[in-house]
Structure 1
Amino acid sequence: MADYDVLVIGGGPGGYTAAIRAAQLGLKTGLVEREHLGGICSNWGCIPTKTLLHSASMLDQSRRFGDYGLDLEGPVSPNIDAMIERSRGVAERMAGGVAVLLRKNKVDVIWGEARLVGAGEVEVLAMQKPAVKPQAPKPKGVKPAGRYTADHIVLATGARPRSLPGLEPDGERIWTYFEALKPAAIPDSLIIVGSGAIGIEFASFYASVGAEVTIVELEERILPAEDAEISLFMRKALEKRGIAVRTGVAAEAVKNGKSGVSITLAAGDTITAERVISAVGVVANTEGLELEGAGVDLSDGVVAIDEFGRTTAPGIWAIGDVTGAPMLAHKAEHQARSCAEAIAGQAAHGLERGRIPRCTYCDPQVASVGLTEAQAVDAGRDIRVGTFPFLANGKAIAMGADQGLAKVVFDAGSGELLGAHLAGPEVTEIIQGFVTAMQMEATEAELFDVVYPHPTISEVLKEAALAAFGRAVNI
């Protein structure tokens, strides 16, 4: 008899969700973790970055108190040590909360690094020194390293920062998000290589706290995964904040010196800054697991799975970043529930990758779901496109945050909502309106009939949909 019905490797958003859901379904469950419960998301990604970005937002708001009729004596300045202390405190609280949830659901936590050693068997090795210093202490009551057997093994090992040749992080001058979240001081100047969500969020934060920021992007536009119209809007918005943007250029040579880092661009010029953040994406953590020997197929560096997380090896499942793009916590959590329910023989719902929202928490925020306009055209769809500016939204005007854009893409024949793309205040909160509409297979007719509260930012959803069919009133 196996030690566990389900043994999960990795304690991030996907891993701990899978473990808890499996336990809720009556399965004896264990979870192996080598560094920190909550994973990168809670400890070094989603949560601490948003904490810092909220501090930056409060700082930016304070600089505009006069615009809101408020008198403030003296300028407000950032206290970076206090910002970081608060951010790390929030991260530690999240990690501690995961430990409580696992105990509450009677999930055994096994501390160490796992590898597959046979059919249904995992060897857990004690970690002498973790790759990343844990934010929270090891939880109490963990089981020791050793060999454990399970009927089902779930791989949820996540991902780590990608390293480019010549731009290898050194922890001093060239940073990943680990160092960027805990700087000893705010650099006077900063180059960020890569303009996906991670790069743009750090550009936004460091610009707010006083650094001179330059973004370098290989693609022709920033936020290349977003709709082209949103990318253009965001470039103008960031440049208005004083952030320099260089697109369509590669970093060909990097010289790391005692006083700073110089990067020679393919365009021929050289830019220099005190620090560099490498934000060129992440790669799946598949090394050391002995996956090939277990019969687990790897495709392009990630684990190949079906819609419920089954791998090519019987009894082995995988979820989250280790299964490839999009590498997002909410995708991992959804996969985790589907996987656990499939293992338990429940009616599980597979992942609809085209309905996963994407959010970037910069200033202004960016959020989207589904196809961009270009993707819909490339797919051969006959489309209707509607846009609505936040300049015409009463709540945005009242907030003094009227710079934004809402864009929707519909199938012209059926009225199917194919995609939605937003840039502006609080759009990471309101995008779920469009996500829900897509999941419910709503057409433009249903969206027209929804009554939106007034005045709210969410009214831009209705207005953009109306605009796509020539029915907008407020523009």
Structure 2
Amino acid sequence: MTFDFARKQRIAIIGGGPGGYEAALAGAQLGAEVTLIENTGVGGSAVLTDVVPSKTLIATADAARAIDEAGDLGVQFFARGAAGKPLKPEVAINLLAINKRILALAGQQSEDMRESLLEAGVRIISGHGRLEGDDAVVVSTGPDGTDFDRIEADTFVLSVGASPRELPAATPDGDRILTWKQMYNMSAVPEHLVVVGSGVTGAEFASAYMNLGARVTLVSSRDQVLPGEDADAAAVLEKVFTRGGMTLLAKSRAESVENTGEGVRVTLSDGSVVEGSHCLMAVGSVPNTRDLGLEEAGVQLADSGHILINRVGRTSVPNIYAVGDCTNLIPLASVASMLGRTAVFHAMGDAVIPFSEHKIASNIFTTPEIATVGWTSATAEDSTAWKLPLSANPRAKMMGVRDGFVKLFVRRGSGTVVGGVVVAPKASELIYPIAIAVDRRLTADQLARVFTAYPSLAGSIADAARALHGVDQRGD
């Protein structure tokens, strides 16, 4: 592949999810001729069927929970009955209206992103893209897939995402056995939702529907909810789930799921049966890398079908990059966005900082939220940890927050902040100062010296940092 530097560099991007979107903007910003190929809509599944819809549902469920628990703060809702006696009204959930709003919001977000790309000068083609070697993309644009367009480019970015994994004995039907993409077709809160899978997706939907008033059973093949996450955080979440009436089935594996017409029958590996009205299959995802011409182009894949990339998003073919859930990196929208920019900057010769897994800030949108960054309890090496319960925080008391904590990890000897865990309302916002500390290699003392408002939940971060002053960080 040779480049003609007398003309603009040409970049072709397959997939308009968070990674492809940011890659397109970065290329346009640096003056490249950018073409984006997307078959469902700008934003991809992250905006249209995954991240944006699910987090909107969760925000709605949190609002319902806040109303229901307002009585704990002395806020009471009453209506007058026929005899003039006060009645306590119920919180009504109109799931049809909720899902209509969710899908409308997702569609508007997609359109906003599309407008941003057009304003930046990006050419958008609606269709299915496929690599033709390392110098062109063939796009099927007709309704029957017979009309083709060939786009030549110098650099290619693959951002094709992933789809819900399906089990042969539990095939989703869109009626009672559902993937997370199909949850927005329901018109009423399920009477009893069985969630198979206790990873991030399973835990988030289980939390949301519990707060919307559904009876929920969570089937986990591991010994804790959120396997692989901070054990203290998982313990808090399990406590909240149990208190809310959720049934947790640990070390249980679903062998099959059957739609009985009136509900679902989930058969576990030990022979026991769980019956419910609906079942959400949240058993992971598979990359959308089939029929993309990757093998023919020489792009190396993992056995799982994920595209192997280095820390700037480059594949085994020098001018082909890949970002997002289709790669072997952590499947987060924020990671896809960051790597989309990094890949294009690298391809165009701009300065880049290679991706570092230990600087990722991530969040699980359960209630309470769980946010992490850097090294955590499962991976921390040569570090000292300090955990401060939110029950000691004055703002938490004012808000009626009963569950949560802030945990910091610092390197022994230097006191450098290497990681953190926050379990709290809006933990996704509270993790940011810890992420800055990890990225900038600040010490606990430096973090402690930053002013926080009083009272505030962020004050617990400073309190935890101050508590680490004077603690023997040498490990002696």
Alignment of 1:63-78 (within 5 A): 63-73=68-78, 74-78=89-93
Deviation, 1:466, is 3.2
2:324 equivalent in structure 1: 320
Instruction: Measure, in 2, the Cα distance between the counterparts of 1:126 and 1:28.
Output: 20
Q: Which amino acid aligns with 2:23?
A: A
Q: Is the 8 A contact 1:4 1:30 kept in 2?
A: no
127 and 181 in structure 1: CA distance in 2 versus 1, 3 angstrom threshold? farther
Q: Which residue of 1 aligns with 2:175?
A: 172
Unaligned runs of 5+ in 2: 79-88, 472-476
Rounded Cα–Cα distance in structure 2 between residues aligned with 1:31 and 1:41: 16
Partner residue in 2 for 1:137? none
Partner of 1:41: 46
Equivalent residue of 2:423, what SS? strand
Q: Deviations over 1:237-290 (max 9, x none)?
A: 111111111111211233332122222223442111111101111121101101
- The 8 Å contact of residues 12 and 34 in structure 2, kept in 1 or not, is answered as yes
CA shift, 1:467, in A, is 3.5
* Superposition deviation, residue 294 in structure 1: 0.2
| 8 Å CA contact retained: 1:408, 1:417 | yes
Q: Contact (CA 8 Å) 1:386, 1:469: kept in 2 or not?
A: no
Residue 434 (structure 2) pairs with residue 437 (structure 1): no
2:421 counterpart of 1:421: yes
CA distance in structure 2 between the aligned counterparts of 1:325 and 1:317, rounded to whole angstroms: 13
Q: How does 1:381-400 map to 2 (within 5 A)?
A: 381-400=381-400
> What are the residue-to-residue correspondences of 1:26-37 with 2, within 5 Å?
26-37=31-42
Percent identity between the two aligned chains: 34
Correspondence for 1:119 among 129, 134, 141: 134
**How far did 1:233 drift?**
1.4
Structure 1 residue 97 and structure 2 residue 112: aligned?
yes
CA contact (8 A) 2:11 2:32 kept: yes
Could you report, residue by residue, the CA deviation over 1:294-333 in whole angstroms, capped at 9, with x for unpaired residues?
A: 0000023211112111111131111111112311110011
1:12 aligns with 2:17: yes
- What letter is aligned with 1:296? V
1:306 aligns with 2:310: yes
* Structure 2 residue 414 is the aligned partner of structure 1 residue 411: no
| Kept after mapping to 2: 8 A contact 1:4/1:149 | no
Residue of structure 1 in register with 2:97 after alignment: 82
Contact 2:236 2:403 (C-alpha < 8 Å) held by counterparts: no
Structure 1 residue 227 and structure 2 residue 230: aligned? yes
Q: Write the mapping of 1:224-303 to structure 2, written as runs, cut at 5 A.
A: 224-300=227-303, 301-303=305-307
Deviation at 1:448, TM superposition (A): 2.1
The one of 332, 347, 358 equivalent to 1:354 is 358
Match of 2:373 in 1: 369
Q: Would you say 1:337 and 2:352 are equivalent positions? A: no
Query: Post-superposition shift, 1:468?
Result: 4.1
Q: How does 1:122-161 map to 2 (within 5 A)?
A: 122-126=137-141, 128=143, 145-161=148-164
Give 1:191's match in structure 2, choosing from 158, 179, 194. 194
1:114 Cα deviation from its structure 2 partner: 0.8
Q: Which amino acid aligns with 1:390?
A: L
Shift of 1:336: 0.9
| 1:133 match | none
User: Judging changes above 3 Å, is the alpha-carbon distance between structure 1 residues 149 and 4 closer, same or farther for their aligned structure 2 residues?
Assistant: farther
**TM-score of the two chains, using structure 2 as the length reference:** 0.91
CA deviation after TM superposition for structure 1 residue 220, in Å: 1.3
- Pairwise CA distance, 1:127: 5.7
Alpha-carbon contact 1:386-1:466 (below 8 Å) kept: no
Name which of structure 1's ranges 418-427 and 459-468 shifts more when overlaid on structure 2.
459-468
Task: Report the Cα offset of residue 164 of structure 1.
Answer: 2.3
Task: List runs of 5+ in structure 1 lacking aligned partners.
Answer: 131-143
**1:420 is aligned with what amino acid?**
G
Give the AA of the match of 1:354.
H
Matched to 1:112, the amino acid is G
Q: Alignment length, in residue pairs?
A: 454
The answer to whether residue 63 in structure 2 is matched with residue 58 in structure 1 is yes
Counterpart secondary structure, 1:410: strand
Aligned Cα root-mean-square deviation (Å): 1.8
